[in-house]
Amino acid sequence: VQLQASGGGVVQAGGSLRLSCSPSGRTDLWNFMAWFRQAPRKEREFVAAFNWRGDRKVFADPVKGRFTISRNNAVKTTGYLQMNSLKPEDTAVYYCAVAYGGTYDTLRNSNQYDLWGQGTLVTVSS
C-alpha cells in the first residue's frame, strides 16, 4: 500500500498550485487526510486536515484563507490541497497522510496517521 502525492512545482509568489494525494493498493475509505510540510532546516509542521465527509476541516494559521482541502467525489480516496496566494515562506516539501482511525482532537498530530506519501516539493519564488 502506498500513498502517492503529486502536483508540486515552481511557482511565482501570488500563484497557485494543487496537490493531490491518493492511496494505491487500498480501497477502503480513510477517516482523515492531512497535509504536512517541511521547509529546509525546519521541523515538519501541520498544514491542514479534514475528515472523509469533508465537513470538518482544520488549517494551520499561516495558511488560513489561502489553502483549501477537498476530496474527489468520484474517486473518494483521492484528496487535494489547493494552495492560492502562495508566498516564498510556503516553500517546502509537502507530505500527505491518511488515518484509518484517529480522532478529531489529534488531527494536527502526525502520530495519528497510518500512511504517508513520499513528499512533493513546492518552491515559491519572490
- The grid cell for 41 is 532546516
pLDDT value of residue 97: 96
Residue-level pLDDT at 12: 98
Average pLDDT over residues 60-74: 95
Residue 9's pLDDT is 97
Q: Amino acid letter at 74?
A: A
How distant, in Å, are the alpha carbons of 11, 31, 52, 90, 92 from that of 8? 9, 24, 23, 12, 10
pLDDT at residue number 76: 83
**What is the arithmetic mean of pLDDT over 19-37?**
90
Indicate whether 110 pLDDT > 80. yes
Q: Tell me the mean pLDDT in the region 35-61.
A: 95
Q: What is the mean pLDDT of the chain?
A: 94
pLDDT for position 54: 87
Residue 87 main-chain phi, psi, to 5 deg: -120, 155
Yes or no: say if 79 and 20 are a contact pair by the CB < 8 Å rule.
yes
pLDDT value of residue 85: 98
The Cα-based distances of 81 to 6, 41, 48 in angstroms read 10, 23, 8
Given this model, what pLDDT does residue 2 score?
84
- pLDDT bracket for residue 11 (50, 70, 90): very high
Burial of 34 (0-12, 13-18, 19+ CB in 10 A): buried
C-alpha cell at 25: 493498493
Residue 49 is predicted with a pLDDT of 97
